[in-house]
Structure 1
C-alpha cells in the first residue's frame, strides 16, 4: 500500500477533495479552492539533493522503474538479474545514491555509475545473496536469475535490457521540476518541435516558467507576456479576450497553441494560468512548422503534467474589487510501480473588477493521466473545461480619457455597455491525447490530437459617436445572439518523426511531420438592435436592447493539411545549420448570410513556407545566429474583389540576426536580436469610393516592422531571480492605396518598452523564509489607430511589488501539511492613470486597472 504521509487522514481527505469534491465546491461557492505554489517532485539538479521517495515493497523490476521516474536517472539492468527478485522499496527523504542503495538492499545486487545520471545494475559478488532467491517467487526463479559462468569461473554477462521509463518522460519530469524553481530555460520545444537547446535555435524564443507565474501572481496571458521584449497588451485587463501585439502585429486566433497543437479557443476565451507549466513565445513568422498565421509569432502554452511523486497543494487569493480565487493542484502515481500517474488542477474565481458591472467569474478543471506503456512508450490523455461569466468591455471615448473634455475627466470605472443586461459568457471544452514512442536511441515518433469546442452567448452594446456639442452623450448600437449559443469546433492532429544520425562526420536531427486541421463554425443568427444613448457623466443602465434593426447570419468550415521537413546539421562542433520548409493546402468555405439565401463562397489556397538559419558558437556560452523565414495567411473567400478574382494569401518575410548567451553555469540567459519583418498582400478598401461603399477591396497593402530586442533571465544565486527586457520597435504602413495612411505608425506599438522584475528569497539567518519582489514596466507613447484622427496614447510607467513568506511546518501537524506559503502582490503600486489599449481613435480607449492588492495563503502537502 502506498504511504500517504505523516497525517494520513488529513492527506487522504485533501486528495479526495482534489479528485472529486473540489469541483463541486468551486461551482457552489466560488472562492473555495487555491493555486499550487508547490515545488513538484521529480528529477533534481544535484544528485546529492534529498528526494522524498514513496516506493513500496514490490518486484525489483517495477521498483527500479519507479526509482528512475522519481530520480531522473537512466537505469539499465539485465532482465535475468531482476527476474524473481523483490525489493523492500524505499520510503523517505534520501539522496539518489542512498535511495538506490536502500532499494537494492538484500537483493544481492549493486550498481555502477556510468556517468552523472546513468546507472548499471550488476551482481554484488561479496554479498553471498543470489538474485532471484528473494521473495515468494525466489526459489523457483533462482536458476534463471544467476548469471551463467564459464569453466574458469568468469561471469558471462547477458545482454542488458533497459529497465527504465522513456527518456522523453525523464526529460519532461526534470523540465517540470526546473520550471518551478528557476526563471532560466535551456530548452524549448516550440521553436523546432525537437529537444533543441535554446542556444542552438537561430530565432528568438522566450519562455516564462511556472515560477514567474506564481511569484507575479498573474492569471491572464497578456499580463504574463509583458515580461517579454516586443510584446504589448492589446486588450482590456478586465475583458475576456487574450490579445497581444508581437513585433507590431496582432496575434490572431490562428497563432495560439497548446502543447504544440493548435488551440482555436484560447484567444477568444482568455486562457487562465491555473494549469500552465510554462509559456513559450516564438517570435516572427513560424509557418515552417505551424502553417498559416499572422507574422508576429507563435504562442505555445505548455500545461502541467503528472509527476511520479505524490504532491498536493492549494491556496486562496483575496483582493480588492471583491476578488476571491482559489485553486487545487494534486498529482502522483495511481499504481505501485508508478507507471500510471495523474494530475488534477481545479480553479474557482468570483470577482468584480474596477469597471462597474464587469465581472470575471470563472470555473475550470483540468484532469490529466500519463501511462508509461513500456520502456519506450508514453501516453498522456488530457482534458480541460473552462467557463467564464463576463461582460463586453468596449472602452470609453478619447475626450475625457486622453483628450480634454469640457465636462472633466471620465472615471476609470465608467461602463458604456448595458449594465446588468450585458453578457459575454464563454465556455471551452478540450480533450487530447499525446502518444510518443522511441523505436531506439536515434528514432522516435509522436502522434497527438486535440478536439476543442467554444461556446459563447453575447448580448452587448457597442459605442457609436460622441456628441461634439456637449461631449457627454454617446450613441450606441446593440447586438444579440438570436440563435442562442454560438459554437465553434476545432480538430488538430500532428504526427512527427524525429531521427538523430551522422553522415559525412556531421550530426543530423531530422524532423518530418504531417498536420491535419479542421475549424468549423456552426450556423448562427445575430440581430442588430437599437439602443438608447448613454450620458457618460450620469449613466442610466435601466434600458436593454431596443427594436431589431437588422439580421445577420454566418457559417464556415476550414480544412488544412500540412507537410513539413526540417534538418538541423552540426556542420562543425561550433557551427550549426537549420533548414526546413512546409507545404500547406487550405480549403475554406463560408456563408456570410446563409439565412437570407446568400450563396456560399469557397477558396483553395496553397503555400510553401521556408526557414534557413545558422548558429556559430565562438565559445560555448555564446551563440551568434542569423535566419531568414517566410510565413503566409490565407484571405477569407468572402472578401470582395471588383475583378471577381480571389485574393492571394498574405505573405510575410523576416530577416533576423542576434546573439544568445548562457553564463554562470547556465544561470544567466540573454538574447539580443535585430529583425526586419514585412507583411505583404494586405487587403485594403477599394480606392474608388463608390466601389468601397459596395464592400469591394484591393490587395495593395504592406506593413513593415523592424527593431532591436533584448531579453534577460537570470537565477544569479540561490533565491535571487530576474527577468528583464527592452525593445525598440519601428512599425509603420509602407504601402497603401490611400496615400494618407503611408508611414502611419501601427496602432498600440510604442517605440520603446522596457521591463524588469526581480525577486529575492532569504536563504538563512533571521529573515529565512521571507522574500520580496518588485518590477517596473515602462512604455512610450503609442498611436491609437492608423485610421481616423491621429490620437496618441500617452506613455506610462507602472510599478509592481510583492512580499513573500514560506515556512516549513513541523512534522505531525494536524493538517499533515509540509509548507505554508503566503504572499502579498501589489500591481500599479503608484495608482497611475493610463490607457493600456485603444481599438480606434475616437470611442474605444481602455483604462488600465488602478492599484490592485492580492493576498495569497497556500499549503503544500
Structure 2
C-alpha cells in the first residue's frame, strides 16, 4: 500500500459536513493512473474532472482498505505530481501540484482541450449507468458484477417519453416488455429470458396475483434495473428468468423543482410536479414530493384512461452514519385503460373480415376497469464502524382492482363476421407486508478484501380474488358484428363463480448470506440461501381449505476479472425456485419448480470513455414443471422441463461529448424439452427468438442550433408462436421512434430551466399484434405523439 503525506495542495478540501467525510472501503489495483481514477470515482460515488493528458503515462501503487474519499485520493495520487480539490460534496478536480483547476478540470495555463470523466454519485451519466443496487443487493459497480444487469436511467425514460415500466424497457435486451400490447400501461406482464419476471420496488417484492398488478407512473420512477437469470439467492421465490427492480425518486439533499404539462393525440392531457431538497431551517432533513395527473382517450373505441398519483417521501440523516427514509405512494386509476382482447383470425391470421386496431370487442355500457394502489414504507441504515453496517427495508402495500368486460376470449360465429362473447367480472384485493433485514461487513483477510452480506427477509401476502363468467348458468351475452357493431346492448350479469375464486395467504421467510471477495483484479461472489414458504388457500366456491409448505436451498457463484484495458470476462452459476399450488396424480403436494443457469460473458468499460458494453451467453433450465397425464382429466405430474438458451448484447455509450447511443440484441431459444406430447419441443407463446434495438441522441453544437437535441430509435421484434401448440406464428415487426428537445436558455438566458420536447413513438403507425392463444391477441400501440413543456429550477 502506498504511503503519502498531505501537502497543502492535496488538502484543499473544505471541512464542511458532507458525505465525503464518510469512510468507505476501496480496492483499486496498481497500474495506470487513469484506470485507478475511474475505479475511485465508481467506488467513492463522486464526480472526477480532469484532462486526459494529466494522467497519460502515470501509474499508481493502488489502494486497499478503508479511507475517506480525500485520504483515498491522496494515496492514489502520491508521487504523480497531481493534486486535487473538492468543489462541492460530490465533485473533485485534478491539477498539477502548485496549479489550480477550473470547474471543468482544465489547467488554464495550457491550451489542450479538456476531456472530462464524469461519474455521478449513483454512477450514472446520461444513458450510461455503471453501478447497480439490485444485482448484488449492495452498491456494486456493474463491471465487477458477474451477472447480466441492465439499468434504464432517468434520462433514458425522459428522452424516450416512456409512460410505463414496460415502455421504459423497450430498448433492454432479454426482456419481452409488451406482450400484452396496449394493456401494458396497467397490466405489465414482463418476460425475462422466456419466463414471466417478478417486479420489485426499491428492492422489495411487488406481488403479482391474478390481475391485481401494481404499476407505477413513469414520472415517479428514477431508474429501472433488469437482473437476468435466477435471483432466488437474494430475493426468494422468483422465476428463473430474472427480476425487474424499479427505483423510485428519493429525497434530495440539494433543492430541485420541476413542473410540467403534456399533451398529445387521443386528447391527452397530463401534468405534474417534482419538488425536493432540504427542509427549510434544517441541515439533516430532506424531502421529495412527486405528483401527476392524467386524462386521455385511447386507440380503442370508447376506452379512456384517467390517473392521479402522488408520492411523498422524506429522509432524516442526523449524522453521517445514520439515515432513515420514509416513502409513501397513492395511485388511483378510475379508468385504467384498455382490457381488450381480439382473436388471431382477422388480426394476425386471415379471416372473412379484418378487425380494426381501434375495434372494441366489449360494450361501453357494461365494461369498466379501475384500480387503486397505496403503499408506505421505510429504509433505515446505520454504520457502526469501518466494518459493520445494518439496513432494514419495510413496506406495506394495498392493491384493489375491478374488471368487467364482455369480450373475453371471443370467437367467431359460423359466418365469420360476428364475435360470440363471454361476460367476465374479476375483482380482488391484495394486502402485502415485506421486510428485508441486512448486515454488511467490509473487511480484509490477508490479501483478500471482503464485502459480506447477511440477511433475513419476510413476506406476507393476502390475496382475495373473485372471478365470475357469463353464459354458463345465465343467458349468453349477445354477439357483436365486426362490420356493423351494435353497442350498449343489455349484458346479463355473470353469476357462475370459477373455482379459482379464493382467499390465498402466502408467507415466506428466507435466510441468506453472500461474500464478494476481491483479490487484485479478480472478484469472486458466493451466495447461499434457505427459504421456507407456506400457502393457505380457502375456496370461495366450495369452502375447501388447502395448506401447502415448501422449502428450498438456492445459491450462486460467480467470478469476474477486470483487466486494465477495461475488459472484464465473467462466469456464473445460479439457481432459483418457485412454490406451486396443487397436487400430483398420487395426491402429493406439488414441489417447487427449480431453475439453474450457467452464464459466461464479457463486459467492457473503456478508460476515459463514458460507456458500458456487455455480452453474455446463457443456458437456463426450469425443472419440476407440471405436465398433464392421461390417468384422468386434470391429472398432472412434475416431469416437465423448459430450456432457455441464448445470447444478449447491450451497449450504452457517449460516442462523442454530444452523441449518445443505446444498442441491444437478443437471441433467445426457449422450448419445452420435456412436456406433454402436444407441446413437446414447442416454444412458449409470445416469446420471439430475435429482438434488436438502436437509439441515438444528439445535442446540437452551439454553432449549429444551440439548445436543440434530436433523437431517434428503432425496435425490431421477431416472429413468435401465437399459442402453446405452435399452430401459427405472429409476424415480426419493426417500429421507429423519434424526438426533439429544446432548451430555451441557450438563446434566452432568462428562460433558464425551460425546455420543450416532442416525441413520436411508432412513427410510421405500424399495425402489429401479440398473441398467447387463438382467442387472446392484443394490438400494440399505434402512432403516439407527446408534446411537453418542463420548467426546472
Name the residue aligned to 1:563: 511
Instruction: State the alpha-carbon separation in 2 of the partners of residues 191 and 839 from structure 1.
Output: 30
Alpha-carbon shift at residue 116 of structure 1 (Å):
5.2
Shift of 1:844: 1.7
Query: Does the C-alpha gap of structure 1 residues 568 and 544 become closer, same or farther in structure 2, counting only changes over 3 Å?
Result: farther
Corresponding residue of 2:340: 394
Q: Does 1:262 align with 2:196?
A: no
Alignment of 1:705-724 (within 5 A): 705-724=644-663
1:649-728 correspondence to structure 2 within 5 Å: 649-688=592-631, 691-692=632-633, 695-728=634-667
State the shift of 1:619 in Å. 2.9
Greater helix proportion: 1
In 1, the alpha carbon distance for the partners of 2:656 and 2:338 equals 45
1:595–1:708: structure 2 CA closer, same or farther, 3 Å change rule?
A: closer
CA distance in 2, matches of 1:509, 1:520: 35
Determine helix, strand or coil for the equivalent of 1:808. Answer: helix
Name the Cα RMSD after superposition.
2.7
Aligned to 1:854: 786
Deviation at 1:433, TM superposition (A): 0.5
Partner residue in 2 for 1:224: 168
Describe how 1:458-537 pairs up with structure 2 within 5 A. 458-467=403-412, 469-480=414-425, 486-522=428-464, 524=466, 526=468, 528=470, 530-537=476-483
Q: How does 1:308-327 map to 2 (within 5 A)?
A: 308-327=253-272
Name the CA distance, whole Å, in 1 between partners of 2:119 and 2:288: 16
Structure 2 equivalent of residue 819 of structure 1: 753
How far 1:316 sits from its partner (Å)?
1.1
2:153 paired residue number: 209
| Deviation of the 1:801 alpha carbon | 0.6
Q: What is the distance in 1 between the residues matched to 2:144 and 2:48? A: 31
Q: Counterpart of 1:288 in 2: which secondary structure? A: helix
Question: What is the 5 A alignment of 1:30-45?
Answer: none
Deviation at 1:489, TM superposition (A): 0.4
| 8 Å CA contact 1:317, 1:325 repeated in 2 | yes
What is the distance in 2 between the residues matched to 1:420 and 1:269?
A: 26
Map of 2:570 onto structure 1: 625
Shift of 1:486: 2.6
> What's the offset of the Cα at 1:523?
6.5
* TM-score, with length taken from structure 2: 0.83
Q: Report how far residue 75 of structure 1 moved.
A: 7.7
Deviation at 1:466, TM superposition (A): 2.7
Structure-2 change in CA distance of 1:391 and 1:278 (3 Å):
closer
Equivalent position of 2:276 in the other structure = 331
* Aligned equivalent of 1:150: none
Equivalent positions of 1:180-329 (< 5 A) are 181-232=125-176, 233-239=178-184, 240-251=186-197, 255-264=198-207, 268-329=213-274
1:586 is aligned to 2:524: no
Give, in whole Å, the separation in 2 of the partners of 1:780 and 1:548: 39
Match of 2:739 among 799, 802, 812: 802
Q: Deviations over 1:336-355 (max 9, x none)?
A: 34310100100101011111
Counterpart in the other structure of 1:38: none
Aligned to 2:110: none
Q: Normalization by structure 1: what TM-score?
A: 0.76
Structure 1 unaligned regions, length at least 5: 1-46, 48-59, 77-94, 98-111, 119-172
CA shift digits 1:475-524 (9 cap, x unpaired):
1222335xxx6311010001111111111321111000000110002375
Which piece of structure 1 moves more, 261-270 or 409-418? 261-270
1:747 aligns with 2:685: yes
Q: Structure 2 vs 1, CA of residues 246 and 544 (structure 1 numbering), >3 Å: closer, same or farther? A: farther
Structure 2 alignment gaps of length 5 or more: 1-8, 24-46, 50-68, 76-117
Give the corresponding residue for 1:86.
none
**What whole-Å deviation, never above 9, does each CA across 1:692-728 have from its counterpart, x for those lacking one?**
2xx3322222111100100110123333221110011
For 2:485, the equivalent position in structure 1 comes to 539
Question: Contact (CA 8 Å) 2:299, 2:357: kept in 1 or not?
Answer: yes
CA deviation after TM superposition for structure 1 residue 460, in Å: 1.7
Please say which structure displays the higher CA radius of gyration: 1
Contact 1:392 1:417 in 2 (8 A): no
Distance in 2 between residues matched to 1:755 and 1:584, nearest whole Å: 38
The C-alpha deviation readout for 1:738-780, integer Å capped at 9, x for no partner, is 2121111221122211101111112422411001000010122
Matched, 1:615 2:552: no
Q: Distance in 2 between matches of 1:677 and 1:397?
A: 32
Cα deviation for residue 568 of structure 1 reads 1.0
**CA-CA distance at 1:565 after TM superposition:** 0.5
2:37 paired residue number: none
In the alignment, the residues of structure 1 paired with residue 345 and residue 541 of structure 2 have an alpha-carbon distance, to the nearest angstrom, of: 40
